[in-house]
Chain A
Amino acid sequence: MLEIIDLHASIDNKVILNGINLKVNLGEVHAIMGPNGSGKSTLSNVIAGHDGYDIISGDICFAGESVLDLPPEKRAHLGLFLSFQYPVEIPGVTVSNFIRTALNEIRNAKGQEPLGAPEMLKSMREKMKILEMDKGFLSRSLNDGFSGGEKKRNEIFQMAMLEPKMAILDETDSGLDIDALRIVANGVNSLRSKDNTFVVITHYQRLLDYIVPDFVHVLFNGKIVKSGDKELAIELENRGYDWIKKEQQ
């Protein structure tokens, strides 16, 4: 589904990604862990197509094609979704209007008819139930005045509605209390199938108790320095990142 080949990227002439190699197949869940400043958020932004970064070399292939020349919306049309670490506020645009617009843009790009209002509402209600969200949520302005937890839940709600092929969850667990974490994780787990894939970016092992990954990668200084299974996450939790840092020196 996703293949990143020897990717080097910089921002303001500062190199952040230093030769990333990563392959994610359909049906898999990958976790990317790493200390602050290791390039985790840069990696997710670059995959999503944020234009603030310069790609020095390497390639990102998604759904069988290189997406480096595609703008973010075209990548979204191919089925890529990014759950933002800091979702932005758009005052005056309701959650339902935003999701309807997004969903129909994606359907339109795929040559599908726009989804009618009744089906849309029905689908929204179902997903909201899974995420234990209040009905009033739909008519609130997007992320405007939302608590940290509400913003993250709203990201997962959008993911559930847009049904992407691949979702990158960028520190979705930060700012969530333990109940919200469980609800969000349940939401993700209910969407897991052999036809999609998740990349979970996190500092802590905590989230991985709920969303159990098939692979765990450690990102350090813009490079994946270690890969393993879920045991690696537990080891990191116990020993911290210092031993990785030392190993690298």
Chain B
Amino acid sequence: MSEEDKIINEVTSSDYKYGFSTEIDSDTLSPGLDEEVVKKISHKKKEPEWMTNWRLDAFKIWKEMDEPDWGNVNYQKPDFQKISYYSAVKKKKLDSLDEVDPELLKTFEKLGISIDEQKRLSGVAMDIVVDSVSVATTFKETLNEKGIIFCSMSDAIQNHPELVKKHIGTVIPKTDNYYAALNSAVFTDGSFCYIPKGVKCPMELSTYFRINEAGTGQFERTLLIADKESYVSYLEGCTAPQRDENQLHAAVVELIALDDAEIKYSTVQNWFPGDANGKGGVYNFVTKRGMCENRAKISWTQVETGSAVTWKYPSCILKGDSSIGEFYSVALTNNFQQADTGTKMIHLGRNTKSTIISKGISAGNSHNSYRGLVRMGPRAKNARNFSQCDSLLMGDRCGAHTFPYIEVKNPTAKMEHEATTSKIGEDQIFYCQQRGLNPEAAIALIVNGYCKDVLNQLPMEFAVEAQKLLAISLEGSVG
């Protein structure tokens, strides 16, 4: 083995730093899925009848569907009868952080995201989702003053049923795909956000998701509505405890940007990727899509370092004229991780614009695929797209793949696609070493430089966290 291979081998076989689990009493449904389970979930959450029926309808649709297999990923199909579909942390609805389970606070401390610090220093309101049920929601009052609604999905169903009923499933219908249908039937919680007309949300809204209960599938449902001329930046960050068995995560995120509204949606995803031999790890099969009305803008930024299998395409439907869609992505895979991720930009309106910047990093034995669709409909006069898809390879056992799909049905539409593949060079590492950096620090620096165009899109404090994550995901000595 050459020295370069040795270094790469060493830094790409690091253990999962955030691998720990929190002992919290949970109120958990026994595994299995049928109509009764769907009803039970709805009942436990004291939902109105329309919601129960909506779920049951989705369940019927799901039963008729087949699991998709077109992704460039191999995995053991989940046994849906072995998953428990509801797990609630027993202590609920707290008035202050003092009432939060100390174990949970400890968990956050380990992750370096103490709620107190977050609240005090960064002005971030956190709607923390631990195993499906919101435990604490902060900064509600400040948001209330502006008329902003930021709460758990369950709360929204109880307190703002008209908004939920009107919008849920309009961007991602129950029939959309297998996992979206499943989510529609059994989702337990998630976040709901409504920004009223003309309001600029004064802070970054943030949700930390965690998968906590062994064997509990996570079915989060997020609905974010930005009314006309409003603005919101939303952060979603994820870390999960280390587990031996595979955990399924099939979330649905729907964004609605009405005329002249702007939504910035940022994700840092660091779920347990499986160990160095490819054992365990989270399946991340998420459906994320946004709808842009006239002159609206939706920007997706994602940094994906975790999960055993990642299969997701945060997309934009550019329905309104002059609307804008953006997708900035870093997907890092190591060891035996697999990622098939990208975006869909559906240009329907005139003068619509989209930008896609995708940076894939493959290390170890991992496989990293970019799959992107740019579709310009017949009405999309003067639509424009720019796509740039870069792949960085570390070592000679990993793979990078690019699957661009382009459909243009309007002759005035323009699109550009650029793609590069590169390898971290031994000469780059030696150069950094000569300047005093050890090989791990060198790789972290080079990788962060490579991802800069995407990291720059993240809010400051999130960008710092993302940089650390990239480094941790590649370093051997940390942990």
Contact = CB atoms under 8 A, between A and B. Distances in A.
A167 to B, nearest CB: 11
A101 B433 contact: no
Contacts of B18: none
A102 B446 contact: no
A73 B437 contact: yes
Contacts, number: 75
A71 B435 contact: no
Interface in B389-438: 425-428, 430-438
A102 B452 contact: no
Contacts of A48: 434
B436 A84 contact: no
A76 B436 contact: yes
Contacts of B229: none
Contact of B434 (A82, A90, A93, A141): A82
Contacts of B451: 92
B37 interface: no
A103 B441 CA distance: 13
A76 to B, nearest CB: 4
B361 to A, nearest CB: 13
A48 B432 CA distance: 12
B436 A92 contact: no
B450 A101 contact: no
A91 interface: yes
A76 B431 contact: no
A105 B436 CA distance: 6
Contact of B449 (A71, A87, A90, A102): A90
Select the residue from B432, B439, B450 with max chain A CB neighbours within 10 A.
B432
A40 interface: no
Interface in A164-220: none
Contacts of A81: 434
A162 interface: yes
B394 to A, nearest CB: 15
B448 A92 contact: yes
A106 B428 contact: no
Contacts of A49: 433-434
A93 B425 CA distance: 15
Interface string A40-54: 000000001111100
B450 to A, nearest CB: 6
B3 interface: yes
Given A91-B449, A92-B453, A93-B446, A84 B435 contact: no
Given A51-B3, A93-B445, A105-B441, A98 B450 contact: no
A245 B427 CA distance: 32
Given A101-B441, A105-B437, A92 B431 contact: no
Contacts of B426: 52
A37 B437 CA distance: 30
A88 B433 CA distance: 12
Given A90-B428, A90-B449, A77 B436 contact: yes
Nearest to B446: A90
Given A90-B428, A93-B446, A98-B445, A76 B434 contact: yes
Interface in B440-479: 441, 445-446, 448-453
A158 interface: yes
Contacts of B433: 49, 71-73, 76
A115 interface: no
A124 B448 CA distance: 23
A92 B430 contact: no
A246 B15 CA distance: 60
A77 B438 CA distance: 11
Contacts of B437: 73, 101-102, 105
Interface string B3-24: 1000000000000000000000
A101 B445 contact: yes
A72 B430 contact: yes
Contacts of B430: 50-51, 72
Interface in B141-178: none
A44 to B, nearest CB: 10
Q: Among the interface residues A72, A98, A101, which one has the most CB atoms of the partner chain B within 10 A?
A: A72
A109 interface: yes
Name, among B430, B448, B452, the residue most crowded by chain A CB atoms within 10 Å (CB to CB). Answer: B430
A91 B426 CA distance: 15
A83 to B, nearest CB: 10
Contacts of A109: 436
A50 B434 CA distance: 9
Contacts of A98: 435, 445
B428 A88 contact: yes
Given A50-B430, A72-B430, A101-B441, A92 B435 contact: no
A156 B441 CA distance: 22
B390 to A, nearest CB: 10
Contacts of B435: 76, 98, 102, 105, 158, 162
B450 A106 contact: no
B409 to A, nearest CB: 36
Contact of B436 (A93, A106, A141): A106
A73 B431 contact: no
A142 B450 CA distance: 12
B228 to A, nearest CB: 37
Given A92-B448, A92-B453, A93-B448, A162 B427 contact: no
Given A76-B436, A101-B441, A102-B435, A92 B427 contact: no
Interface string A67-111: 000011100110001101001101111000110011101100100
Given A101-B437, A105-B437, A90 B445 contact: yes
Most A CB atoms within 10 A — which of B431, B436, B452, B453? B436
Nearest to A51: B3
Contacts of A106: 436
Given A88-B427, A105-B441, A72 B446 contact: no
Given A76-B433, A102-B436, 9 more contacts: A48-B434, A72-B434, A73-B434, A90-B446, A91-B449, A93-B449, A101-B441, A102-B437, A105-B436
13 contacts: A49-B434, A73-B436, A76-B436, A77-B436, A84-B434, A87-B431, A88-B427, A90-B445, A90-B446, A90-B449, A102-B435, A105-B438, A109-B436
